[in-house]
Amino acid sequence: MAAIENNMTESDKTSKEQGSPVLRPFTFIGRTVMDWVNSIGAAAIFLCLAILTILGRKQLFKTIQQIFYIGAKSITIIMLVSLFTGMVLGLQSYHTLLKFGAAGAVGSLVSLSLIMELGPVLTAIMITARAGSAITAEIGIQRISEQIDALHTMRINPIRYLISPKITAAIISFPLLTAVFDLVGILGGYVSAVVLLGLNGGVYLHSIKTYVEISDITNGFTKSIVFAVIVATVCCYQGYFAHMRKDSHGAQAVGLATTSAVVTSCVLILVSDYVVTSLLA
């Protein structure tokens, strides 16, 4: 009888928590919004703590290691993607502008598209897919294997030791890789429009020199820095708190945290791209 009464009491509590069927959709929306707000606030505090420890001792060597891992090891895939992106832009823009008698503007269209939008965005997405996922998995494994707890035991700040070098390296690597993406993409547009389609090479380069301004390049680098902070923060945050996930635990939590980090980073890259573009316009 006591067990039955306990079960009835628990069912009554559950029904009270769920509320009426009419209010359930609003309850779900409210809880989802509150979870998002809590996550954003926690990630912001996490980022601030990491920034405060960037200038700590012995950070330079760890930062150089992370620059090599995030930046140098990503340059091959960045160059490959940028080459074919520029070639496709050159091909499409040539045939489109030829209909209006403005084929000479192919160079400016390709360069501005890469410098202002496609370069920073695609670079950030490719780094997220290659390095961001690995960072989340690495930190998540360190968390569930209690290596981070061991750092606490040895009185080592894990945020200073693990997180700060990655954020610093991302801020340095993203603009450099964006510059590589832009240059190789413009070269790909040259190959497609000039070498393959027969556009005059001088016209292609002159249109770039005429219409591309320093402010356009600066805006592209500004976006890349914003994307670097977002990607590094989201990936490190998801891995660092993988053990606190409500939907899983252990190795499965690391996998879900990695997936969540990549998806969230890509979404935030696109959202922040619009916000930064509207502010810089």
pLDDT in tens, the chain (281 residues): 444 334 434 444 444 445 567 677 777 788 877 878 888 888 888 888 888 888 767 788 888 999 999 999 999 999 999 999 999 999 999 988 888 888 888 999 999 999 999 999 999 999 999 999 999 999 999 989 888 889 888 888 889 889 999 999 999 999 999 999 999 999 999 999 999 988 888 999 999 999 999 999 999 999 999 999 999 999 999 999 988 887 778 788 898 999 999 999 999 999 999 999 999 87
Q: Cα dihedral sign for 181, 228, 162, 127?
A: negative
DSSP 247: S
Measured distance CA(186)–CA(159) in Å, rounded: 39
pLDDT tens digits, one per residue of 139-150: 999 989 888 889
- Alpha carbon 244 to its chain centroid, in Å, reads 22
* Helices and strands counted in the chain (H then E): 13, 0
Helices 201-211 and 106-113 cross at an angle (nearest 10°) of 50
Measured distance CA(218)–CA(237) in Å, rounded: 29
Over the Cα atoms of the chain, what is R_g? 24
pLDDT tens digits, one per residue of 160-207: 889 999 999 999 999 999 999 999 999 999 999 999 988 888 999 999
Supply 241's token pair: 């708190």
Strands, DSSP E only, in 149-223?
Answer: none
Measured distance CA(252)–CA(55) in Å, rounded: 35
The answer to whether residues 259 and 155 touch, using CB atoms and an 8 Å cutoff, is no
Residue 246 neighbours by CB distance under 10 Å: 7
Spatial neighbors of 120 by CB under 8 A, at least 6 apart, are 174, 178, 220, 221, 223, 224, 227, 273
